[in-house]
Chains A and B, each alone.
Chain A
Amino acid sequence: MREEIITSGRMNPKIDPYLNIWHWEIPIYLFLGGLAAGILFFAAFYTINGKEKDFPTAIEKTPLIVPFLLVIGLISLFLDLHHKLYFWRLYTTIRLESPMSWGAWVLMIVTPLSFIWAAIHLKKVFPSFKWPFPWLDIIEEFFIKYKKVIAWAMIISSLILGMYTGILLSAFNARPLWNTSILGPLFLVSGLSTGAAMNILFAKTHLEKKTFSTIDLALIGVELFLIVHLFMGLLASTQVQIDAASLFLGGSYTAAFWVLVVLMGMVIPAILEILELWKFKIPLFVPALLVIFGGILLRFIITFAGQTSRWLY
């Protein structure tokens, strides 16, 4: 049998025997970014459509957690940096060719928007809430007047943010598993799905619960479709891509991916949501929590598996 044996004298820490430069920080950053994008998207969407009365959870309540999600996300990104003292360099230049750069800038736009959005809805969620200074009321009034404009800015920037969480990885030609344009849409849809799940968790009315579980069901359908395409694309490509796909088709990530992400995070919640639509009594927080859990694991598994997929040795 013909064999090729390669021995390399390189043993650089975090590079060999396989790349291990990104740990929990990047997947958490990607997950929180996607979740925040999902929540903001629905809030903006129903505001623009004038559905304030029907969707108080999606518009007023759930977005209150977004500033926290984004700040934790930015802290995770900061923790991932090895040269932390130079963090500010990220914001002294914009480099459009670098997803790391424009993504950091998109976050710099989305984060203040999410703070403003949360601030102008505080009084609705907590009726006894009062600003400590009267000039804050004036600012609040100003922003409430331009709520629709903010909603438009939010819907656009949240879609970019959701997409970016996938593009950050898919822009790396050097890691065959990541180097597929499916990752952008897949992470965007997964972000929207976790956003819908969060709304199910917080919703009080039957209408909101039912709407978001139907939306989530559709989004899971799209995710499964994208995953099939992801593998079709990889398997129809060159040997390195086939090797990358085999990490999930018999390789070391097979069980984790298919059982935890696809079965527990997508198929089972979808079945539960279908049963609920058929009038079975299902506590909807179960599929919602499963979807969120699946969303976290999807980011972790793709980030870690991608680092083990390479071109050379």
Chain B
Amino acid sequence: MRYAMAIDTKKCVGCSDCVIACQTENNVPIGYCRDWIVEVTDGTYPQLEMEIRSERCNHCDNSPCVRCCPTGASHIVEGGIVLVTPNECIGCGACIASCPYDARYPHPDGHVDKCTFCVHRVEKGQQPACVGVCPTNCLYFGDLDDPKSEVSEILKTRKYKTLIPQAGTEPQLYFLI
């Protein structure tokens, strides 16, 4: 099993509903976020192109954050989801420095926090909170090893990219372009 997410940059309008849904669902401390919106404007005026992306932890296959953790608090569970166990984490910050996407942050309680792909919902067969709430339905979540899953189907028909694949972490967020 290999969970992954596809994000349709052509449909995303940058409304930040996914951000709020995550903050509510996961009790994210005020002033912090586990997912966020990035807008890129590229080109020569007036020929400008805009891309809007909903970003979060890439749940990398080759995850430096897990490798550099001195205690094993950062670990990988079933389906490739990367998690942090708060009461094993000493808050050394190594994993934060190791993530090329800066997807982690120090929780005010001391441990490190990040996107969990809403593992508590996924275990029950539900979708991550951000996916469920998106008004344009631009987020797809599922198992890449299952050719019939929503995410596998959409990746078959659309062009996509990952962010900084050259960092070598094998990210599992696929941005449809």
Do A and B truly interact?
yes
B1 CB contacts on chain A under 8 angstroms: none
B44 CB contacts on chain A under 8 angstroms: 1-3
What is the distance, in angstroms, from B115's C-beta to the closest C-beta of chain A? Answer: 12
Q: A84 to B110, Cβ gap below 8 A?
A: yes
Q: A171 to B32, Cβ gap below 8 A?
A: no
Q: A81 to B91, Cβ gap below 8 A?
A: yes
Please choose the segment from B99-107, B131-139, B143-151 that sits at the chain A interface, where 4 or more of its residues have CB less than 8 A away: B99-107
Encode B69-106 as 1/0 by CB contact (under 8 A) with A. 11111000000000000111111111011111110111
Query: Which of B31, B37, B86, B96 interacts with A21 by CB under 8 Å?
Result: B96
Query: Which of A21, A86, A95 interacts with B72 by CB under 8 Å?
Result: A95
Q: B33 to A10, Cβ gap below 8 A?
A: yes
Q: A13 to B96, Cβ gap below 8 A?
A: no
Q: Chain A CB within 10 Å — which of B36, B73, B104 has the most?
A: B36
Given A97-B68, A173-B167, are A2 and B43 also a contact pair (CB < 8 Å)? yes
Does residue B10 face the partner (Cβ distance < 8 Å to A)?
Answer: no
Q: Which residue of B lies closest to A306 (CB)?
A: B97
Q: A21 to B89, Cβ gap below 8 A?
A: no
What is the distance, in angstroms, from A100's C-beta to the closest C-beta of chain B? Answer: 4
* Majority DSSP secondary structure for residues of A touching B: loop
Q: How far, in angstroms, from A313 to B72 measured CA to CA in the complex?
A: 29
Query: Which of B37, B73, B99, B105 interacts with A13 by CB under 8 Å?
Result: B105
Q: How far, in angstroms, from A307 to B97 measured CA to CA in the complex?
A: 8
B72 CB contacts on chain A under 8 angstroms: 93, 95
Q: A311 to B167, Cβ gap below 8 A?
A: yes
Q: How far, in angstroms, from A10 to B67 measured CA to CA in the complex?
A: 25
Q: A9 to B19, Cβ gap below 8 A?
A: yes
Q: How far, in angstroms, from A104 to B168 measured CA to CA in the complex?
A: 27
- State which size class the interface on A falls in: 35 or more
Q: A95 to B42, Cβ gap below 8 A?
A: no
Query: Which of B67, B87, B93, B110 interacts with A98 by CB under 8 Å?
Result: B67
Q: B102 to A19, Cβ gap below 8 A?
A: yes
Q: Chain A CB within 10 Å — which of B44, B88, B97, B166 has the most?
A: B97
- State which size class the interface on B falls in: 35 or more
B87 CB contacts on chain A under 8 angstroms: 86
Q: B70 to A174, Cβ gap below 8 A?
A: no
Q: A312 to B163, Cβ gap below 8 A?
A: yes
Encode B1-34 as 1/0 by CB contact (under 8 A) with A. 0000000000000001001000000000001110
Given A87-B90, A95-B70, are A13 and B41 also a contact pair (CB < 8 Å)? no
Encode B28-67 as 1/0 by CB contact (under 8 A) with A. 0001110011111111110000000001000000001001
Q: B97 to A82, Cβ gap below 8 A?
A: no
B177 CB contacts on chain A under 8 angstroms: none
Encode A139-177 as 1/0 by CB contact (under 8 A) with B. 000000000000000000000000000000001111100
What is the distance, in angstroms, from B97's C-beta to the closest C-beta of chain A? Answer: 5
Q: B93 to A12, Cβ gap below 8 A?
A: no
What is the distance, in angstroms, from B83's C-beta to the closest C-beta of chain A? Answer: 16
Q: B38 to A313, Cβ gap below 8 A?
A: yes
Q: Chain B CB within 10 Å — which of A83, A98, A238 has the most?
A: A83
Q: B94 to A98, Cβ gap below 8 A?
A: yes
Q: A82 to B91, Cβ gap below 8 A?
A: yes
Does residue A138 face the partner (Cβ distance < 8 Å to B)?
Answer: no
Q: A4 to B97, Cβ gap below 8 A?
A: no
Q: How far, in angstroms, from A242 to B168 measured CA to CA in the complex?
A: 18
22 A-B Cβ contacts within 8 A? A4-B40, A9-B16, A10-B36, A10-B102, A21-B96, A22-B97, A81-B92, A82-B111, A83-B86, A83-B90, A86-B90, A89-B73, A89-B88, A89-B89, A93-B70, A93-B72, A95-B69, A173-B64, A173-B98, A173-B167, A311-B101, A311-B164
B contacts, CB < 8 Å to A: 16, 19, 31-33, 36-45, 55, 64, 67-73, 86-94, 96-102, 104-106, 109-112, 163-164, 166-168
